[in-house]
């Protein structure tokens, strides 16, 4: 191909000369049956909240669930679960994930920092290395489904996850505005180039339901989730309202006690 530098590790094109990059083997004491990435085009749309809700729903459905927080520079998973413990290590230089109130295993850079307000000032290769170590050096044990909270966008770290972890599919989280701004299409196209199926599209903060009269208001504009899902043949869609009790549950570290019918349904379908 034009412009080929023969380094398939930094290229997403599926050309005929592609040399397959070996997927990493999971930690030797672990078995992970399904890996689902949660992706967004940009930050702040609720990707981490959706990851946390999907994991909590899958756990309520009786599955053994883990979250690998790959949003290394903006990790918010531990906070949503109120997890503050420092992960323990063993003599083989492996570390154990922290277990939440309902039994979800999590690993995140925030659990490894001295203060959770410390910034992570790492460059691309180091970030990629951290993801690899989360996969190979964390003793996950026996897991039915692992949700990977991906960094926003289509950069380096997302590429590492797609190439090196056995991702079964992704869920894209978006706001109504981003659906019309082609940001979502970039995420869809990246997954296509990496041969990773897009399993679902979540339009978060889609509407606000007035608690007094029940009327629906599309604060961020009309929904376009149907059109975009149809255009890219995404099999599942889900619209979630703006709900201050969700933000509150995440702030208090109690996301596991927040329940949404939509998320329960999506989690059940994704983990079938």
Least separation in angstroms between residue 7's CB and ligand ADP is 31
Of the two residues 33 and 209, which places its CB atom closer to ligand ADP in the complex? 209
DSSP the chain: -TT--S-GGG-----TTPPPPPPPPP-TT-EEEEEEEEEESSTTSSHHHHHHHHHHHHHHTT--EEEEE--TTS--HHHHHT--PPPPB-TTS-BPPEE-TTS-EEE-HHHHSSSTT------HHHHHHHHHHHHHSB---EEEEEEEEPPSSSSHHHHHHHHHS---EEEEEE-HHHHHTTHHHHHHHHHHHTT--EEEEEEEEEEEE-TTT--EE-TT----HHHHHHHTT-S-EEEEE--HHHHHHHHTT-GGG---HHHHHHHHHHT-
Nearest-angstrom CA–CA distance, 195 and 186: 14
- The residue within the footprint of ligand ADP, chosen from 24, 43, 101, 185 (CB under 6 A), is 43
125 binds ligand ADP (CB under 6 A): no
- The residue within the footprint of ligand ADP, chosen from 44, 124, 129, 166 (CB under 6 A), is 44
Nearest-angstrom CA–CA distance, 150 and 30: 21
216 binds ligand ADP (CB under 6 A): no
Site for ligand ADP in 132-171 (CB under 6 A): none
120 binds ligand ADP (CB under 6 A): no
- The residue within the footprint of ligand ADP, chosen from 34, 47, 59, 64 (CB under 6 A), is 47
Give the binding range for ligand ADP (CB under 6 A) out of 46-54, 98-106, 114-122, 182-190. Answer: 46-54
Least separation in angstroms between residue 184's CB and ligand ADP is 13
Of the two residues 169 and 253, which places its CB atom closer to ligand ADP in the complex? 253
- The residue within the footprint of ligand ADP, chosen from 32, 35, 36, 45 (CB under 6 A), is 45
- The residue within the footprint of ligand ADP, chosen from 242, 254, 262, 268 (CB under 6 A), is 242
Least separation in angstroms between residue 76's CB and ligand ADP is 5
Rounded to 5 degrees, φ, ψ at 254 are -120, 35
Give the binding range for ligand ADP (CB under 6 A) out of 21-29, 90-98, 117-125, 235-243. Answer: 235-243
Least separation in angstroms between residue 33's CB and ligand ADP is 25
Of the two residues 199 and 205, which places its CB atom closer to ligand ADP in the complex? 205
What is the binding site for ligand ADP (CB under 6 A)?
A: 40, 43-49, 76, 204-205, 240, 242-244, 246-247, 250
């Amino acid at each position: 191909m034009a412009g080929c530098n023969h380094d398939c590790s930094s290229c997403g094109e599926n050309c005929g000369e592609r040399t397959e990059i070996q997927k990493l083997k999971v930690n030797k004491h672990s078995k992970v049956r399904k890996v689902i990435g949660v992706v967004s085009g940009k930050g702040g749309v609720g990707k981490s909240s959706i990851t946390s809700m999907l994991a909590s729903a899958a756990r309520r459905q009786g599955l053994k669930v883990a979250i690998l927080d790959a949003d290394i520079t903006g990790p918010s998973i531990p906070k949503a679960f109120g997890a503050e413990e420092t992960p323990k290590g063993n003599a083989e230089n492996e570390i154990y994930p922290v277990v939440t109130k309902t039994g979800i295993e999590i690993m995140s850079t925030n659990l490894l920092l001295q203060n959770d307000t410390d910034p992570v000032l790492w460059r691309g290769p180091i970030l990629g290395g951290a993801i690899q170590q989360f996969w190979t050096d964390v003793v996950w044990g026996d897991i039915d489904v692992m949700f990977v909270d991906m960094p926003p966008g289509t950069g380096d770290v997302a590429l590492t996850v797609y190439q090196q972890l056995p991702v079964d599919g992704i869920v894209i989280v978006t706001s109504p505005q981003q659906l019309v701004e082609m940001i979502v299409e970039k995420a869809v196209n990246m997954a296509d180039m990496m041969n990773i199926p897009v399993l679902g599209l979540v339009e978060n903060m889609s509407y606000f339901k007035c608690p007094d009269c029940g009327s629906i208001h599309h604060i961020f504009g009309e929904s376009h989730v149907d059109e975009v899902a149809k255009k890219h043949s995404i099999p599942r869609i889900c619209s979630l309202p703006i709900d201050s009790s969700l933000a509150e549950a995440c702030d208090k570290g109690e996301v596991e006690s927040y329940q949404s019918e939509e998320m329960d349904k999506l989690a059940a379908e994704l983990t079938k």
